[in-house]
Structure formats: structure tokens, C-alpha cells
Amino acid sequence: MKNCLIIVNTYKEESRNIAKKIESFLQERKINSSILEFNGFSDIYPFSGYDFVITLGGDGTVLYACRGCAELEIPVFPVNLGQFGFIAGIQPDEWKKLLENYLDGKMPVARRSMLSYKVIRDSKEIATGCSLNDIVVRSNAAVSMVYLELACNGISLGNCKADGIILATSTGSTAYSASAGGPIVDPEVEAMILTPINPFSLSMRPLVINARSLLTVKILPSREKNVILSFDGQTPFELLENDIIEITKLEKDAVIIGPSKEKFYNSLRFKLNWSGGPHA
């Protein structure tokens, strides 16, 4: 380990203070470090050349790091400075001990499936990207439905009339998809969760499919012309009628330091109040 990038979320006041302490700690270990400021939205991923990345923020900062690090196979060490911290499982008061453990090879490392997408317009690929949580195709206007044609590996899933659809990873199953009624899936399961958003038909239910499937979404003509694609809550991309979005598993996985089965299920119990009891 020679080079580390520290991503500082500029909206978290304590992130810069912790970054300085981490810089000093790494310097003592003869590890070079650089600071990258992140304000919640970015499509720039200057991660090449680093051995690992430390994030100081919430889950959004981790999502950003994973989008840039996955294909480079760079591990992400996520320190939670956010309110929820479902993915960022390392707490601010334990970073030093756990970072020392990681550098000594004593920390668990988890691989998380990611999704890739490409947008095809008039037979030309016009946009590509990846996500750790989800990819969303929806209307950008309030109280407006879009009309979508869905297929999995070339097999028709029918047409969907809804406010939109969410394609989530197992990691993202606890995020937007869950709030829209989708199932919670163990993050170690390689799956893609298709969750409709306020579907017109009561029979349109969430669907869990193999993550390595090729899901295609075609924008059909409808009264709503303002249709967008977004990934991990980033700046949306405008879609047009007859655009086709192809979604499948990213070839490489995100590598995250620290997650465990215990932390995942504890997060379900204590952060999502998933207990099944009368006082949940």
C-alpha cells in the first residue's frame, strides 16, 4: 500500500478534521495520501493510481467512490459521517483501529454487485454508466405516468404504465426500491430487483431476476414527454420516445472494506426497524 485517496464530503463539517488526522496516520505508515472534495454530485472519477480509497461522508459518498473504483478494483474504506450509513459501516470513533487492521490484513473485504447501463437512440449508443444502488427510469413531472416496454434476455415482460421503474442491486434493495415496495435482498446475493413506481395495474409487482440477465427498457409514446434516467441519485439524463436502455451486471464488483452479515442485519433491525414486533 503506497497511495491513498481520501474523499471529503464538503457538506460534512467534521470530514476535513478527520481527513487531517488520517493523513498524519498514513504518513507515519509511509503511505502517500491526497484529498478529493465531493459535494454530492460528480461524474469525474480520478482514482487511477491509488491502492485504496477512504470516504468521509454518508452512503452517497461511498456510492460515488464505488462507481469510480469498481472497474479499477480499488478497495473503498467507508467512514460514516451521514445520518443513515447503511453502506458506510465504519464509525468515526473507530476509523483508526479499523484502518490499522485493514493495513495489517485483518479486516473483512466484501464484493458487491453493480449494474451497468447504456442508452441507445436511433441505433447509436449515446450514454453509459454504472451504479451500486439503482438505476431509475421515470417521469420528471409530478403526477405523470410513463409507458415502458420491458424485456429480459429478449423475453417480453410486457408493458408497464407507471410513474417509473427502479432497477436495484441487492445492495440498493434497502434504498429507493424498498420505499417503493420492493423486497429487501441480502447484499451477497447477485440479483437485479425490478420495482415499479406507483404502477397503474395492481398486478404489476416487484420482480427479482438473475443479475447477469440483460434487461431492456424501451420508452413508448405517451402524453408524458419528460422522461429521465438517473443512477444512484445523480444528475438525471433526459430520454426520448423509442430510446432503449440496456441494463446488466457490471463485469467488476465494488470492493468495500468492513461490511459483514452481522452489520447488515443489525442495520435492518436498528436503522430500518425491521423487527416484526408490535413496537417496530
- Does a structural domain hold residue 242? yes
Q: In terms of pLDDT, which residue wins out, 57 or 83? A: 57
Residue 13's pLDDT band (boundaries 50, 70, 90)? confident
Residue 223: partners with Cβ closer than 8 Å, 6 or more residues away: 144
- Does a structural domain hold residue 86? yes
Indicate the SS3 state at residue 83.
Answer: coil
Same domain, yes or no: 96 and 128: no
pLDDT at 5 over 70: yes
For 101-132, write each residue's pLDDT tens digit.
Answer: 999 999 989 999 999 999 999 999 999 999 99
Query: Average pLDDT of 19-33?
Result: 97
As for how many domains the chain has, the answer is 2
Quick check: 109 and 116 in contact, CB under 8 A? no
Task: Give the pLDDT of residue 42.
Answer: 92
pLDDT at 273 over 80: no
> Annotated catalytic sites, by residue?
59
Same domain, yes or no: 123 and 225: yes
Query: Average pLDDT of 170-188?
Result: 94
pLDDT at 275 over 90: no
Same domain, yes or no: 99 and 224: no
Same domain, yes or no: 103 and 132: no
- Does a structural domain hold residue 275? no
Q: Tally Cβ neighbours within 10 Å of residue 259.
A: 23
- Does a structural domain hold residue 235? yes
Query: Average pLDDT of 25-38?
Result: 97
Q: How far apart are CA 203 and CA 188, in angstroms?
A: 29
Q: What percent of the chain has pLDDT over 70?
A: 98
Same domain, yes or no: 48 and 125: no
Same domain, yes or no: 122 and 245: yes
- Does a structural domain hold residue 40? yes
Same domain, yes or no: 31 and 52: yes
CATH number of the domain encompassing residue 48: 3.40.50.10330
Give residue 17's domain range. 3-112+253-270
C-alpha cell of residue 93: 470513533
- Does a structural domain hold residue 19? yes
Q: How far apart are CA 254 and CA 241, in angstroms?
A: 33
Same domain, yes or no: 124 and 226: yes
Question: What is the DSSP secondary structure assignment for residue 75, as one 8-state letter?
Answer: -
Strands 3-9 and 52-57: parallel
Q: How far apart are CA 127 and CA 183, in angstroms?
A: 29
Same domain, yes or no: 34 and 149: no
Task: Give the pLDDT of residue 276.
Answer: 63
- Does a structural domain hold residue 67? yes
Task: Give the pLDDT of residue 250.
Answer: 97
Same domain, yes or no: 217 and 127: yes
Same domain, yes or no: 185 and 122: yes
- Does a structural domain hold residue 261? yes
Same domain, yes or no: 239 and 133: yes
